[in-house]
């Protein structure tokens, strides 16, 4: 059995445990150098050649810093490893000319590492982490494959590459000036007018980069990438921060690159957007933070369905115990649970924006989603329900306790995740807390981390978990899927459902991910109007009616995949698109 040893260097605290892993290791007792001490970091180093995989060190470590991972097959010759007892990557994706190839897999599985390697930002060390590989080594390693010619041209400077990074919120630190100046400076393909129209950038061209919101930064980053002239384009999570219309606009400009003869690689966690943007898909599986394996190339429909089913037939690898099930639910005539609270028509006026919410009722044991364009008032509505903001007119008739997770997360708590949970979670330490909160959000691996050091996805998981840990009548989430991978989004949906049903409460969720909304919703609210000027919201209604209203305004239609029943975007002007629009069924036809 092939295995790798992983050491979480952030968790490992040898001064506190006095090297308990070395003390109990059978190999060390037999005077083998199974575990040694790194002279630089003073932290343990585990020999994978001498380790028998007994697991004693993993059980004895008080900080859960050690993992011994058995590989599903005898994987050899890694593409890259960050160091001894650190993450290891096996394989690289296939790049197709005039095509968009998507990468689908959990966070921490190597997707961003792959883009850094292909863009030339990181030279693959071929597993030999103690020295830097030469380009000759890399080219020879890929001899006889497509990647040999790729890396040969990349090393000779004959390939031009554009990389749209994941963390667009960091762009103001590196780019100064107005949006207009930035885009004119990179307009190598002479497509500025078309791109700014499709991405709806006209109103922010004169704005300074530092004053843009997350969604505006994302659209500007996409525009800056597609305007440059290159052979290969790499997009790391291009739809985060965007609403549904903006996501489809981003899909259009990225697909236009492939149709003009370019090669495009995309990392995306929104299954509907990934389906619409990609021609082919690579699934990545393994152990997040431990190792990642790139599966063979599949057509986009087959690839996404394979991911949903959790079984790679050709590789004979099962990476999820159960498939993800999507239900096709007919619209309910009425809600059959008791009323939890009711609110009258709510109105709120700002200097340049007004919001009008139609009256509605929230019932026990239901999940209501709210969707619509950015800048239309969804967050303001959430704040009014949570009591953070007061409406100018209207009220919530029956006072209820609301647990609220805001859209923008902060990490100003000084201490570890465990410290935060102890001080804020009422039932921390109980078995039900472990079942409902700890396990679904994989918080065990975060307990010893400092809250201020958490990544965006880790902070999002913690924030959702903290919200669900409170005793409340309504659990209110503003964009809970941001920074989460597909698996984490669906785990979040199941966890919210379990808590709502178990506590006879309700939840209201503001989000843009259509697949997530479809998976979790009982009813939905539609926000419409003119972004930044005026917003309106419907009363909660059945999901099918809400989606038809929303998608008609956006001008797109969805169908159901015949195998998995997941929502899929219809191609504009296709036969099914025209048929559904004629029938007024923008969401899906009966299957």
CB 384 within 8 A of CB 391: yes
E runs forming strands in 493-581: 506-510, 523-530, 534-537, 541-542, 558-560, 567-569
Percent pLDDT > 90 in the chain is 49
Q: Is 153 strand, coil or helix? A: helix
The pairing of strands 263-267 and 232-236 is parallel
Round to the nearest angstrom and report the end-to-end CA distance of the chain: 46
Assigned token pair, 127:
């597993």
Average pLDDT, integer, range 447-458: 86
- Asked which of 70-79, 149-158, 210-219, 228-237 is least confident by mean pLDDT, the reply is 70-79
CB 533 within 8 A of CB 322: no
Longest CA span, the chain: 78
How many other C-beta atoms can be found within 10 angstroms of the C-beta atom of residue 359? 12
For 293-337, what is each residue's pLDDT tens digit? 999 999 999 999 999 999 998 888 888 888 888 877 655 556 667
pLDDT at 399 over 90: no
For 14-43, what is each residue's pLDDT tens digit? 888 888 888 888 888 888 888 889 888 888
pLDDT at 447 over 80: yes
How many other C-beta atoms can be found within 10 angstroms of the C-beta atom of residue 468? 26
Task: Output the pLDDT for position 74.
Answer: 56
Task: Output the pLDDT for position 73.
Answer: 63
Give me the long-range contacts of 326-329 (CB less than 8 A, separation at least 24).
326/518, 326/519, 326/560, 326/564, 326/565, 326/566, 326/567, 327/565, 328/560, 328/565, 328/588, 328/591, 329/543
Task: Output the pLDDT for position 332.
Answer: 55
pLDDT at 257 over 60: yes
CA distances from 11 to 62, 90, 158, 428, 466 (A): 10, 25, 43, 21, 22
**β-bridge mates for residue 299, sequence order:** 280
The pairing of strands 291-294 and 35-37 is unpaired
Percent pLDDT > 70 in the chain is 97
For 292-312, give one letter per residue: b (16+ CB within 10 A) or e. bbbbebbebbebbbbbbbbeb
Closest CA relative to residue 20, chosen from 51, 64, 69: 64
User: How sure is the predictor about 130, in pLDDT bands with cuts at 50, 70 and 90?
Assistant: confident
Residue, of 274 and 241, whose pLDDT is higher? 274
Assigned token pair, 73:
């097959």
3-class secondary structure for 377-438?
CHHHHHHHHHCCCCCCECCECCCCCEEEECCCCCCCCCCEHHHHHHHHCCCCCCHHHHHHHH
pLDDT at 285 over 50: yes
For 42-77, what is each residue's pLDDT tens digit? 888 888 888 888 888 888 888 888 888 877 665 778
Average pLDDT, integer, range 213-237: 93
Task: Output the pLDDT for position 331.
Answer: 55
For 499-555, what is each residue's pLDDT tens digit? 999 999 999 999 999 889 988 999 999 999 988 899 999 999 998 899 999 999 888
User: How sure is the predictor about 386, in pLDDT bands with cuts at 50, 70 and 90?
Assistant: confident
Range list of H helices, 513-568:
514-520, 543-554
- The rounded distance, in Å, linking the Cα atoms of 234 and 117 is 11
Task: Output the pLDDT for position 1.
Answer: 47
Name every residue whose Cβ is closer than 8 Å to that of residue 581 and which is 6 or more positions away in sequence.
Answer: 557
Task: Give ∠ CA 206-211-216 in degrees, rounded to 5.
Answer: 80
Average pLDDT, the chain: 89
CATH numbers and ranges of domains, the chain: 3-70 (3.30.70.20), 88-318 (3.40.50.300), 341-541 (3.40.50.300), 555-591 (no CATH)
């Amino acid at each position: 059995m092939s295995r790798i040893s992983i050491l979480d260097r952030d968790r490992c605290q040898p001064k506190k445990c006095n090297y308990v892993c070395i003390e109990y290791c059978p190999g060390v007792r037999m005077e083998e150098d199974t575990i040694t001490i790194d002279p630089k970091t003073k932290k343990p180093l585990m020999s994978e050649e001498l380790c028998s995989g007994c697991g004693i060190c993993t059980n004895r470590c008080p900080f859960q810093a050690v993992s011994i991972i058995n590989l599903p097959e005898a994987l050899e010759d890694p593409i890259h490893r960050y160091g001894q007892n650190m993450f290891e990557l096996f394989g690289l994706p296939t790049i197709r000319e005039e095509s968009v190839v998507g990468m689908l897999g959990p966070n921490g599985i190597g997707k961003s590492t792959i883009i850094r390697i292909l863009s030339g930002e990181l030279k693959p060390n071929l597993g030999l982490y103690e020295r830097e590989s030469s380009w000759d080594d890399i080219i020879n390693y890929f001899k006889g494959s497509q990647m040999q010619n790729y890396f040969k041209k990349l090393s000779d400077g004959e390939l031009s590459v554009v990389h749209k990074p994941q963390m667009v919120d960091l762009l103001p630190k590196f780019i100064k000036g107005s949006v207009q100046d930035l885009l004119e400076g990179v307009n190598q393909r002479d497509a500025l007018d078309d791109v700014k129209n499709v991405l709806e950038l006209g109103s922010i061209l004169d704005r300074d980069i530092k004053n843009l919101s997350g969604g505006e930064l994302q659209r500007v980053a996409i525009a800056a990438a597609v305007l440059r002239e290159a052979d290969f384009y790499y997009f790391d999570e291009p739809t985060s921060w965007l609403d549904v219309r903006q996501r489809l606009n981003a899909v259009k400009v990225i697909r236009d690159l492939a149709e003009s003869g370019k090669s495009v690689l995309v990392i995306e966690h929104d299954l509907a957007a990934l389906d619409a943007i990609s021609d082919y898909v690579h699934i990545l599986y393994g152990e997040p933070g431990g190792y990642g394996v790139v599966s063979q190339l599949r057509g986009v429909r087959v690839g996404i369905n394979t991911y949903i089913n959790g079984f790679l037939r050709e590789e004979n690898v099962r990476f999820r115990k159960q498939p993800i099930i999507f239900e096709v639910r007919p619209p309910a005539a009425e809600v059959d649970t008791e009323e939890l609270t009711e609110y009258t028509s709510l109105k709120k006026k700002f200097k340049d924006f007004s919001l009008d919410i139609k009256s509605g009722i929230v019932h026990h044991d239901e999940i209501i989603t709210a969707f619509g364009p950015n800048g239309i008032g969804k967050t303001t509505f959430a704040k009014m329900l949570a009591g953070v903001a007061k409406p100018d007119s209207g009220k919530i008739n029956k006072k209820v306790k609301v647990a609220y997770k805001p859209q923008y997360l902060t990490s100003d708590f000084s201490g570890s995740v465990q410290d935060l949970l102890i001080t804020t979670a009422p039932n921390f330490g109980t078995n039900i807390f472990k079942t409902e909160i700890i396990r679904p959000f994989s918080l065990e691996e975060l307990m010893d981390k400092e809250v201020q050091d958490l990544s965006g996805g880790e902070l999002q998981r913690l924030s959702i978990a903290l919200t669900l840990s409170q005793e409340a009548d309504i659990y209110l989430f503003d964009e809970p899927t941001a920074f989460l991978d597909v698996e984490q989004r669906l785990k979040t949906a199941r966890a919210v459902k379990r808590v709502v049903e178990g506590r006879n409460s309700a939840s209201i969720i503001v989000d843009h991910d259509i697949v997530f909304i479809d998976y979790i919703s009982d009813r939905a609210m539609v926000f419409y109007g003119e972004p930044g000027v005026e917003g309106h919201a419907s009363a909660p209604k059945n999901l099918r009616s809400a989606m038809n209203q929303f998608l008609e305004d956006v001008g797109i239609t969805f169908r159901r995949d015949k195998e998995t029943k997941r929502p899929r975007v219809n191609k504009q002007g296709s036969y099914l698109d025209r048929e559904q629009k004629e029938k007024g069924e923008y969401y899906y036809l009966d299957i």
